[in-house]
């Protein structure tokens, strides 16, 4: 495995996509600055930069799978491992940049512009707050991004839409399954407070779950990339 080859792949990607990445960065920064100037920020708006990160991951391999580009990419003098690391680095790096842009936009919007119009010192937000819940959110977002990355190499067309549809379908299936299990166990007296998560593992080692999913989808992505090259 050659660092030079990985660096060449990274440089080629950012050169080829610099316009798209620049526009995306401006949009993310502008969205966070604007909405954090408002008296209250909807939760969906706070998560919008993360959704754009998922879109980047979910469309990463799509251009390489097109007829005109596939031969060029899959015949490059680089191993499957080098191309795989290149993809993972790009996804993680863009995720970090998007998070930093979001924090910068939120800081300027809330602490500078918002404070100029609204004098509500008691309701100041802690943009830089970091706790176990926030750390778990980061792990979960990484797992989702890696799942979308796998979808981008697994599906040849409309990978992001298909991956999103499957993800929503899985969530609905899991929700229906647990709801059915609750009714079987507790019957009609169910009041919505069933302690499903009151297991020792889920209480103390819940953060391991997204790590397992991340490793699982990374393995699937590597195997699919290797199969596609063959």
The token pair that represents 16 in the structure block: 């080829």
For residue 30, what are the contacts with CB-CB under 8 A and spacing of at least 6?
Answer: 105
Asked if residue 147 lies in contact with residue 167, where contact means CB atoms within 8 angstroms, the answer is yes
Amino acid 147: pLDDT: 94
Euclidean distance between CA atoms 186 and 114, whole angstroms = 49
Domain layout of the chain by residue ranges: 3-229
Q: Tens of pLDDT along 154-195?
A: 988 888 999 999 989 988 887 787 677 666 666 554 555 545
Amino acid 150: pLDDT: 94
Euclidean distance between CA atoms 147 and 49, whole angstroms = 17
Asked if residue 108 lies in contact with residue 38, where contact means CB atoms within 8 angstroms, the answer is no
Helix, strand, coil percentages (3-state) for the chain, rounded to 5, are 80, 0, 20
Amino acid 63: pLDDT: 73
Euclidean distance between CA atoms 85 and 50, whole angstroms = 21
Euclidean distance between CA atoms 32 and 16, whole angstroms = 26
What are the φ and ψ backbone dihedral angles of 27, each rounded to 5 degrees?
Answer: -60, -45
For residue 128, what are the contacts with CB-CB under 8 A and spacing of at least 6?
Answer: 103
**Spacing of C-alpha 32 from chain mean position:** 17
Amino acid 122: pLDDT: 44
Amino acid 130: pLDDT: 55
If DSSP states are collapsed to H, E and C, what string results for 197-215? CCCHHHHHCCCHHHHHHHH
Asked if residue 214 lies in contact with residue 142, where contact means CB atoms within 8 angstroms, the answer is yes
| Confidence (pTM) | 0.79
For residue 34, what are the contacts with CB-CB under 8 A and spacing of at least 6?
Answer: 109
- From first to last of the 230 residues of the chain, give the pLDDT tens digit: 778 888 888 888 888 888 888 998 998 888 888 877 776 666 666 677 888 899 999 998 887 766 555 556 666 777 888 889 999 999 999 999 998 888 888 888 877 776 666 655 545 555 566 556 778 888 899 999 999 999 999 988 888 999 999 989 988 887 787 677 666 666 554 555 545 544 445 566 677 888 999 999 999 999 998 887 76
Amino acid 151: pLDDT: 92
Q: How large is the C-alpha radius of gyration of the chain?
A: 21
């Amino acid at each position: 495995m050659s660092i030079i080859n990985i660096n060449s792949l990274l440089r080629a990607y950012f050169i080829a996509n610099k316009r798209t990445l620049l526009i995306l960065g401006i949009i993310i920064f502008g969205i966070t600055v604007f909405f954090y100037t408002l008296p209250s920020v909807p939760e969906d708006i706070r998560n919008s930069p993360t959704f754009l990160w998922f879109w980047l991951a979910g469309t990463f391999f799509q251009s390489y799978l097109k007829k005109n580009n596939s031969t060029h990419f899959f015949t490059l003098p680089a191993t499957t491992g080098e191309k795989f690391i290149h993809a993972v680095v790009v996804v993680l790096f863009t995720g970090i940049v998007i998070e930093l842009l979001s924090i910068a936009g939120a800081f300027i919007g809330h602490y500078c512009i918002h404070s100029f119009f609204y004098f509500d010192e008691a309701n100041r937000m802690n943009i830089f707050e970091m706790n176990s819940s926030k750390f778990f959110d980061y792990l979960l977002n990484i797992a989702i991004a890696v799942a979308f990355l796998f979808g981008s190499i697994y599906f040849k067309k409309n990978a992001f839409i298909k991956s999103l549809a499957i993800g929503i379908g899985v969530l609905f299936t899991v929700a229906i399954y647990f709801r059915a299990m609750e009714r079987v166990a507790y019957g009609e007296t169910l009041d919505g407070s069933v302690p499903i998560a009151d297991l020792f593992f889920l209480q103390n080692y819940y953060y391991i779950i997204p790590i397992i999913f991340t490793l699982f989808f990374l393995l699937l992505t590597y195997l699919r990339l290797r199969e596609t090259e063959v």
